[in-house]
Every structure is written in structure tokens, then in C-alpha cells.
């Protein structure tokens, strides 16, 4: 029960964060276009819009993982007997978790390397903050995979 309520709260958090990022991205682009149209281009809006799009993409990937919407091969897996399906399922989940743990580790190393660097157009925003989306979203994908695990297993074992 606690896991289900936590998954629901996590789902809402991801939805709200992605929704707010989409609103802010839209506002950034509209403001940038209006200023450019008036002949007074903002030097920072392209960079910020690109960063916002990246954050939406990474958080969207975590949300897709939570819903089991990433590309998979369920038809191929269903061809095998249940014992082999179970092995393939566990193997795939272990590979996914290891991959995102490695991505979290190296994403954190990138943040350390970028310490002190700032954005080109807004020198008060640290590059390490911008790039923190990589380890952060990797952890979110791991959490999403854990929350979706039971459903994914049931679907894999269903005939």
C-alpha cells in the first residue's frame, strides 16, 4: 500500500514538473520571439529554451519508464516459455539498473568537472546545475523502474 501511494505521488510530481517546464519553455520562446520581432533580441533565450527542452526530455523519460512506455520487445519475449521469460525479464531489469547507475555515477563526475563553469549568456547560472539533469534523471528512471517492476513482471508472464 505504501509503495502504491508513493508511486502515485511520484507520478503526480513528475507530471507537475514536466507540465511546469512546458509552460516555462513556451513562455521563454514566446518572449524570445516577441523581443526578436521588435528588433531587440534577447541573447539568452535560445540557450535557456534548449536547456528547458533537455530537462523536459529527461524528466519525460523518467515518466515514460514509470508508465512502461519505453521501447521494448514484448512480442519476442512472449515466444519463450515462462521459465525463460522470467530469466530474460530479470536480466533486462538488471541491465537497465546497471546502465542508469553508471550514468548517475558519470553524470555526477561531469558535474564535478564543470564546477566553476557558467552558461555563456547568463554567467550567474552554473553549468553544473544545468548538467545535473543527467544524474538526477538517471536516479528518477531507476525509481520509475522500481515502481513499474511489478506491473512489468505481470505483463511479461501473462500469456
Q: Which residues pair with 126 in a beta bridge?
A: 118
Of 159, 27, 35, 30, residue with least CA distance to 85 = 159
Structural domain containing residue 85: 2-157
Residues of the chain with pLDDT under 70: none
Q: What is the pLDDT of residue 61?
A: 97
Of 51, 150, 138, residue with least CA distance to 97 = 138
Of 88, 69, 68, 67, residue with least CA distance to 77 = 88
Q: What is the pLDDT of residue 159?
A: 78
Place of cell 514536466: 18
Q: What digits encode the pLDDT tens for the residues 20-60?
A: 999 999 999 999 999 999 999 999 999 999 999 999 999 99
H runs (alpha helix) in 38-132: 45-67, 74-78, 82-113, 127-131
Q: What is the pLDDT of residue 82?
A: 93
Q: What is the pLDDT of residue 118?
A: 97
Q: What is the pLDDT of residue 113?
A: 97
Domains identified in the chain, total number: 1
Check: CB of residue 45 under 8 Å from CB of residue 124. no
Of 148, 135, 149, residue with least CA distance to 63 = 148
Q: What is the pLDDT of residue 49?
A: 97
Amino acid at each position: 500500500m505504501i509503495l502504491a501511494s508513493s508511486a502515485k505521488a511520484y507520478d503526480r510530481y513528475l507530471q507537475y514538473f514536466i507540465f511546469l517546464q512546458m509552460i516555462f519553455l513556451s513562455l521563454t520562446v514566446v518572449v524570445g520571439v516577441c523581443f526578436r520581432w521588435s528588433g531587440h533580441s534577447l541573447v539568452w533565450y535560445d540557450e535557456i529554451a534548449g536547456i528547458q527542452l533537455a530537462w523536459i526530455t529527461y524528466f519525460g523519460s523518467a515518466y515514460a519508464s514509470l508508465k512502461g512506455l519505453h521501447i521494448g520487445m514484448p512480442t519476442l519475449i512472449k515466444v519463450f516459455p515462462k521459465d525463460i521469460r522470467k530469466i530474460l525479464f530479470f536480466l533486462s531489469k538488471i541491465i537497465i539498473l546497471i546502465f542508469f547507475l553508471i550514468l548517475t555515477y558519470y553524470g555526477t563526475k561531469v558535474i564535478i568537472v564543470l564546477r566553476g563553469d557558467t552558461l555563456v549568456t547568463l554567467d550567474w547560472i552554473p553549468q553544473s546545475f544545468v548538467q545535473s539533469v543527467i544524474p538526477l534523471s538517471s536516479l528518477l528512471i531507476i525509481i520509475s523502474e522500481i515502481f513499474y517492476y511489478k506491473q512489468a513482471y505481470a505483463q511479461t508472464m501473462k500469456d
